[in-house]
Amino acid sequence: MYSKKLMDHFTNPRNVGEIADADGVGMEGNPTCGDTMKIFIKVKDDIITDAKFQTFGCGAAIAVSSMITEMAKGKTLTEALSITKESVADALDGMPPQKMHCSNLGSDALRKAIEDYHAKGTQK
Amino acid sequence: MRYFDHVATNPLNPEVFNAMLPYFKEEFGNPLSVYGLGQSAKQAIEDARVKVAALVNCKAQEITFTSSGAESNNMAIRGIAMARRKEGNHIIVSRVEHHSVLNSARALEKEDFVVTYLVPDKFGMVSPADIKKAINKDTILISITHASSEIGTIEPIAEIVKTAKEHNVAVHADGVATTGNIPIDVMQLGVDAYSLSAHQFYGPKGAGALYLKRGQRILPLIYGGIQENGRRAGTENVPAIVGMGKAAEMAKAELPTRMAHVKKLRDKLIDGLTKIEKVHLTGHPDNRLPGHASFVVEYIEGEGMLLMLEANDIYSASGSACTSKALKASPILLSMGYSSSVTHGSIVFSLGIDNTEEDIDQVLEHMPKIIKRLREMSPFAKEGWGAIDDLEESKEGNHV
Ligand code: FES
């Protein structure tokens, strides 16, 4: 059902955990199945320097969290906002159609984390 | 391979396979043919009928062969409802039924039948008192599962039948999960119809049967020739029926040993897993299928557990929303009062005669690690479910 790459990100997820002094936190619930993803970011000079996640969801949702936090790191906030569910899914070598909504969860949580950062107005 | 998904299907017993083989090859005749080749196929079917009847303690003529448990359920509900249509249009089922029962009932709703869906208690048990309350003058049929494959709880069928009989209502029980796993006596249960499926007791897929009490009227689902006494047309699946007969014969002979074997392993598994924090047994603690152990693990989701178990060559099932094709929380667990968040952590181990003590040791070794790992990733493990604002409250008195 899942690609090798997705299974790798599920079995050895990168960036698991919280960032205690995060500059932005975004939490998103999955309206389809009811699952939850939380993304923490550290920002410096408009660049995401660190990203971590906590996810309550299926294998695909965990792999998406791992991949999107990897993708976000090193990107400017504007670049990070352009990460879509498709680009995450592509980076994972594809996802089953019924699991695309789990990919959505990733980009939405990241966007919320960035919005949270802006809202806090703690630009460094 | 450590296989814990016997409610999905069982491996075919090698002796059953051998019994079936000739009917794929030299014994290929059509049971309706009058010459010897046809007649020996016919004889094989009738022998199988006797064996299946013996497994549930009825007369051979009361057994109709079908293609599956689902077909048996469809046939019983639709067939009896249609046959009794003039007497009334009300049907009672429960919320712990299999889709083949629920969807048959829903289909009838579109044809002017009225269906009551009874909510079980926190153990998934349907109350005979609720049945009594639900019966009205139009009630013609009650269909309750003998045991749900998701929670393992054995339903009080005999008591339900007693209530139903006082009101002249027919009772069908879905015995797919029970037949071959606990002793079944349809006479003692008093049911009018009972569904069974061969691959739930080491027989082949594509073979089911419906017990119909003598005199119970039913309309067929499949019209055609006179096979199965006109109740179910279509050239018989002779090898599958022969296999079902052999599997039934073996199940009857070995039932006490099989039950003792899986029960011992099941108890060890339940003991071990419920020691882990925030892991709860679902279904009834005592009144459950001997090989059935189902749980909810809080703060994590079932698919992750299944994938990690598979990585360790362990195969089980989950009723979580993410593992379901519809991405919906388990309606059965919800009906028992679990919050939808908790149902995500559903995991079901169903044991069979092929399981060993070592299999259980492996599960007990890996599950704590898997749960720990997934909880490390979960936003809820540390602070509990409080993090979900819209968390529904569990039904009062629930153990979660
Ligand atoms: S998070 Fe529920 S299906 Fe992916």
Which residue in B321, B341, B377 is closest to A16 by CB distance? B377
Q: Which of B251, B281, B308 is the last residue of a domain?
A: B251
Q: Which of B210, B232, B251 is the last residue of a domain?
A: B251
Residue B3 belongs to a domain: no
Give per-residue pLDDT as tens, B265-276: 999 999 999 999
Active site residues of A: 33, 102
Output the domain CATH number for residue B285: 3.90.1150.10
Whether B176 and B232 map to the same domain: the answer is yes
The Å distance, Cα B10 to ligand 1 centre, comes to: 28
Mean pLDDT confidence for B235-259: 98
Which residue in B328, B344, B376 is closest to A35 by CB distance? B344
A33–B388 CB contact, under 8 Å: no
Whether B40 and B177 map to the same domain: the answer is yes
* Per-residue confidence (pLDDT) for residue A101, from 0 to 100: 86
The Å distance, Cα B246 to ligand 1 centre, comes to: 42
Mean pLDDT confidence for B194-204: 98
A8 interfacial to chain B (CB closer than 8 Å): no
B326 interfacial to chain A (CB closer than 8 Å): no
Domain enclosing residue A116, as ranges = 4-123
Which residue in A11, A34, A54 is closest to B341 by CB distance? A34
- DSSP per-residue letters across B275-306: TSTTEEE-S-SSSB-TTEEEEEETTS-HHHHH
Dist. CA B159–CA B149, nearest whole Å: 21
| Confidence check: pLDDT of B392 > 50 | no
What SS3 state is found at B240?
A: helix
Output the domain CATH number for residue B86: 3.40.640.10
B378–A35 CB contact, under 8 Å: no
Q: Which of B129, B253, B307, B322 is catalytic?
A: B322
Give per-residue pLDDT as tens, A43-87: 999 999 999 999 999 999 999 999 999 999 999 999 999 999 999
CA gyration radius for chain A? 13
A65 contacts A39 by C-beta, under 8 angstroms: yes
Confidence at A124, pLDDT banded by 50, 70, 90: low
| Confidence check: pLDDT of A25 > 70 | yes
What SS3 state is found at A37?
A: strand
Give per-residue pLDDT as tens, B57-104: 999 999 999 999 999 999 999 999 999 999 999 999 999 999 999 999
* Per-residue confidence (pLDDT) for residue B321, from 0 to 100: 83
Whether B238 and B273 map to the same domain: the answer is no
Confidence at B213, pLDDT banded by 50, 70, 90: very high
Q: Which residues pair with A56 in a beta bridge?
A: A36
A115 interfacial to chain B (CB closer than 8 Å): no
Domain enclosing residue B168, as ranges = 12-251
* Per-residue confidence (pLDDT) for residue B227, from 0 to 100: 95
Give per-residue pLDDT as tens, B113-131: 999 999 999 999 999 999 9
From chain A, the residues in CB contact with B323 under 8 A are: 58
Residue nearest to atom 1 of ligand 1 (CA): A57
Burial class (CB in 10 A: 0-12, 13-18, 19+), B385: middle
Total domains present in chain B: 2
Whether B327 and B221 map to the same domain: the answer is no
* Percent of chain B predicted with pLDDT > 90: 91
Structure tokens at A42: 């550290």
Dist. CA B142–CA B211, nearest whole Å: 15
From chain A, the residues in CB contact with B327 under 8 A are: 32-33, 98, 101
Whether B273 and B217 map to the same domain: the answer is no
Nearest to A107 by CA among A85, A75, A77: A85
Confidence at B388, pLDDT banded by 50, 70, 90: low
* Percent of chain B predicted with pLDDT > 70: 96
- Within 10 A of B331 (CB to CB), how many other CB atoms are there? 19
Residue B72 belongs to a domain: yes
Question: What are the C-alpha distances in Å from A110 to residues A40, A43, A70, B321, B365?
Answer: 8, 13, 12, 23, 36
Dist. CA B116–CA B97, nearest whole Å: 12
Phi, psi of A61 (to 5 degrees): -65, -40
Residue B93 belongs to a domain: yes
Dist. CA B138–CA B179, nearest whole Å: 31
| Confidence check: pLDDT of A108 > 60 | yes
Dist. CA B139–CA B168, nearest whole Å: 9
Dist. CA B327–CA B143, nearest whole Å: 26
Phi, psi of B346 (to 5 degrees): -70, 135
- Within 10 A of B294 (CB to CB), how many other CB atoms are there? 30
Which residue in A29, A34, A36 is closest to B329 by CB distance? A34
Residue nearest to atom 3 of ligand 1 (CA): B322
The Å distance, Cα B331 to ligand 1 centre, comes to: 17
Query: For ligand 1, what atom is nearest to the CA of residue A98?
Result: 3
B87 contacts B141 by C-beta, under 8 angstroms: no
Structure tokens at B156: 């009080």
Q: Which of B251, B270, B289 is the last residue of a domain?
A: B251
Catalytic residue status for B58:
no
Whether B212 and B313 map to the same domain: the answer is no
Total domains present in chain A: 1
* Per-residue confidence (pLDDT) for residue A117, from 0 to 100: 96
CA distance B319 to chain A (A): 12
| Confidence check: pLDDT of B282 > 80 | yes
Give per-residue pLDDT as tens, B141-185: 999 999 999 999 999 999 999 999 999 999 999 999 999 999 999
Whether B49 and B176 map to the same domain: the answer is yes
Confidence at B36, pLDDT banded by 50, 70, 90: very high
From chain A, the residues in CB contact with B311 under 8 A are: 11
**CA nearest A2 in B: which residue?**
B307
Dist. CA B252–CA A48, nearest whole Å: 66
Whether B266 and B180 map to the same domain: the answer is no
Whether B246 and B302 map to the same domain: the answer is no
Dist. CA B29–CA B300, nearest whole Å: 54
Global pTM reads 0.93
Dist. CA B173–CA B143, nearest whole Å: 6
- Within 10 A of B204 (CB to CB), how many other CB atoms are there? 22
What SS3 state is found at A38?
A: strand
* Per-residue confidence (pLDDT) for residue B397, from 0 to 100: 36
The Å distance, Cα A95 to ligand 1 centre, comes to: 12
Confidence at A30, pLDDT banded by 50, 70, 90: confident
Confidence at A32, pLDDT banded by 50, 70, 90: low
Q: Which residues pair with B94 in a beta bridge?
A: B118
**CA nearest A16 in B: which residue?**
B377
* Per-residue confidence (pLDDT) for residue B143, from 0 to 100: 98
Q: Are strands B208-212 and B279-281 parallel, antiparallel or unpaired?
A: unpaired
Query: For ligand 1, what atom is nearest to the CA of residue A33?
Result: 2
* Per-residue confidence (pLDDT) for residue B400, from 0 to 100: 37
Give per-residue pLDDT as tens, B309-363: 999 999 999 988 888 777 888 999 999 999 988 999 999 999 999 999 999 999 9
Contacts of A90 (CB under 8 A, 6+ apart): none
B325–A98 CB contact, under 8 Å: yes
Residue B259 belongs to a domain: yes
Site residues for ligand 1, CB cut-off 6 Å? A 30, 33, 35, 57-58, 60-61, 99, 102; B 321-322, 327
| Confidence check: pLDDT of A88 > 80 | yes
The C-alpha angle with vertex B351 and arms to B143 and B149, in degrees rounded to 5, equals 20
Whether B63 and B205 map to the same domain: the answer is yes
CA gyration radius for chain B? 22
